[in-house]
């Protein structure tokens, strides 16, 4: 479970140390892409905990979501409508839902273990 966190920290360290920057114009796209990627990760973790994880769904979701979000933002900029808000809203809601599901599953697992322990000692 700690390996993904290590990966996250490694990515953060690499990004901060190399001081890579993108033009300010593309800032919006990147922020949406970050949100989409986070959504994919938590979706993947949830799917894994529910034992419905699928490699294809996970990887295609990662790239497709990012592309779709950036595309929506791009379209929004050119149409003069803040379409990226739609992406932010959708991903935000899903993020919370996924995290809530993960939390419930973990709590259930923890309780089950607790009960088992109690039965063993009695």
Partner 1 sequence: MNKRIVIRITIVSFIVGLMIAVQYNTIQNPAERDTRDLWEIRQELSEEKKRHSELLSEIVSLKSIVNEYENDDKDNQAQILKNTVEDLKIRAGLEAVSGPGVILKIEPAMELVALGLEVESIPPDLLIRLVNEIYRYHGIYIEIDGQRLVHTSAIRDINGKTTINGFAINKSNVEIRVITESYEKAEKLYGYLYASTFSDDFYLDNLHLIINKPVTKLTIQEYDGKLSNTFLVENNKGE
In the complex, what is the shortest distance from the CB of residue 89 to partner 1, in angstroms, rounded to a whole number? 19
Kindly determine how many residues on this chain lie close enough to bind partner 1 according to the rule CB under 8 A.
37
Q: What is the separation of C-alpha 5 from the centre of its chain, rounded to a whole number of angstroms?
A: 13
- Beta carbon nearer to partner 1, 27 or 112: 27
Within a 10 A sphere around the Cβ of 95, how many other Cβ atoms? 17
Cα gap 96→120, rounded to integer Å = 36
The 8-class DSSP code of residue 82 comes to -
Using an 8 Å Cβ cutoff, are 69 and 87 in contact?
A: yes
Enumerate residues 36-65 that contact partner 1 by CB under 8 A: 37-38, 40-41, 44-45, 48, 53, 55, 58-59, 62
Question: Contact positions toward partner 1, by CB under 8 A?
Answer: 1, 3-16, 19-22, 24, 27, 30-31, 33-34, 37-38, 40-41, 44-45, 48, 53, 55, 58-59, 62
């Amino acid at each position: 479970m700690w390996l993904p966190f290590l990966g996250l920290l490694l990515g953060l360290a690499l990004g901060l140390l190399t001081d890579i920057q993108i033009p300010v114009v593309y800032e919006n796209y990147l922020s949406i892409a970050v949100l989409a990627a986070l959504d994919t990760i938590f979706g993947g973790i949830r799917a894994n905990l529910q034992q419905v994880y699928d490699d294809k769904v996970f990887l295609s979701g990662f790239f497709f979501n990012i592309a779709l979000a950036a595309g929506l933002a791009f379209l929004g900029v050119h149409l003069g409508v803040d379409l990226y808000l739609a992406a932010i809203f959708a991903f935000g809601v899903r993020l919370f839902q996924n995290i809530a599901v993960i939390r419930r599953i973990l709590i259930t697992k923890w309780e089950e273990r607790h009960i088992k322990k109690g039965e063993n000692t009695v």
